Amino acid sequence: MRAILILALSFATIGCLERPQVDLREPIYLVAEESFWDECEECPAGWMACHADRMAAVYNGIDEWFQYFPESARPVALVVWPEENVPDGAANALIRLKIKEGGCKKPDGYHPACYRWSQDSLGRNRPPEIIFDHPGAIDPQMVAHEFGHALGRDDNDVPEWQYSVMSYSHPSYVVPVDIDLVCALHPEVDCPPHVWCVDIDDLCRCPSDSFEDGMAKFGAGEIVCR
C-alpha cells in the first residue's frame, strides 16, 4: 500500500460570499491558464510529456470522486484551454487552474494549493480557482482535495477521528464518507450504491464492500492511510 501524504490545504473566501455551486448533471469545465504550464519548456522529457503529466494529475484527482458513480449518471469534468474552447452556454462556473507562487498564503502558514473564489468591484462572481504554489504541487491527491471544495466540501468537515480526503488529521484517498457527503450536497444526481471495492485492490481507497464495514475498519485502526 503506497503511503499518502496530503499537506495542509485550504480554500479562501472574501467576506461572507456564498460558495459557487456546481450542478453535477452538467459538465464542469476547468480552464488551464497559461501559468498552469509553467516550466514545461524546461522539462527534460519535453513539453508534451510535462503537459501529459499535469493533465493526468488533474484527471486522476477528479476520478477519485467520480469513479464511484454509476456510469449512466457519472458527472463529467473536462480540462480545456484556452477559455475560448469552452462551449457556449456552460451551466457551471468555470474553474481556473493556475500556478501562482505565494498565491495560497494564509495567516496560519504556507499552503501548496488552495481553492479560492471572490467577487469583483461590481459584486459579480469571479470564476473560482484552484491555485498551485509551484508545479510540484500538481498532484492527484492535491487535486482531489481542492476539487472537493468545488463540490461543496469544507476542510475537516468530518469527525476528527475519521479518514477523509478533506481531513488534515487523517488524510486519505476519497473514501465512502466523502462520497456520501457530496451526495447529500447534490440531490440532483443518482448516488452510487454502497459497494466500493469492486475490482479495486487498494485498502486505503476501498477498505471493504460496504460503507459500514469500511468505516468500522477505519475506526478500529485496522487501516491506516498515512
Q: Does any domain span residue 170?
A: yes
Q: How far apart, in whole angstroms, are the C-alpha atoms of residue 176 and residue 146?
A: 18
Residue 15: per-residue pLDDT: 39
Residue 202 belongs to domain spanning: 10-219
- pLDDT digit string (tens) for 59-94? 999 999 998 787 888 899 999 999 999 999 999 999
Instruction: Tell which wins on pLDDT, 202 or 49.
Output: 49
- Tell me whether residue 50 is in a domain: yes
Name which of 17-21, 35-39, 166-170, 196-200 the model is least confident about: 196-200
87 domain-assigned: yes
pTM of the full predicted structure? 0.80
List 12's β-bridge partners, or say none.
116
Structural domain count of the chain: 1
179 — pLDDT class (breaks 50, 70, 90)? confident
Q: What are phi and psi of 225, to 5 degrees?
A: -110, 20
Integer Cα distance of 14 and 25 in angstroms: 28
pLDDT of 200 higher than 70: no
Top-confidence residue, 126 or 165: 165
Residue 3 in any domain: the answer is: no
User: 4 in a domain, yes or no?
Assistant: no
Q: Tell me, what's the pLDDT at 136?
A: 95
pLDDT class of 125 with cuts at 50, 70, 90:
confident
- Residue 82: asked if its preceding bond is cis (omega within 30°), the reply is yes
Q: 15: which 3 cell numbers? A: 467576506
pLDDT of residue 110 exceeding 50, the answer is yes
Find the CATH number of the domain harbouring 133: 3.40.390.10
Residue 40 to residue 94: CA distance in whole angstroms: 24
Q: Could you report the per-residue pLDDT of 129-150, keeping only the tens digit for each? A: 999 999 999 999 999 999 999 9
Q: With respect to residue 1, please indicate whether it lies within any of the assigned structural domains.
A: no
Report the pLDDT value the prediction gives residue 144, as an integer from 0 to 100: 97
Q: Is 2 within a domain? A: no
46 lies in some domain: yes
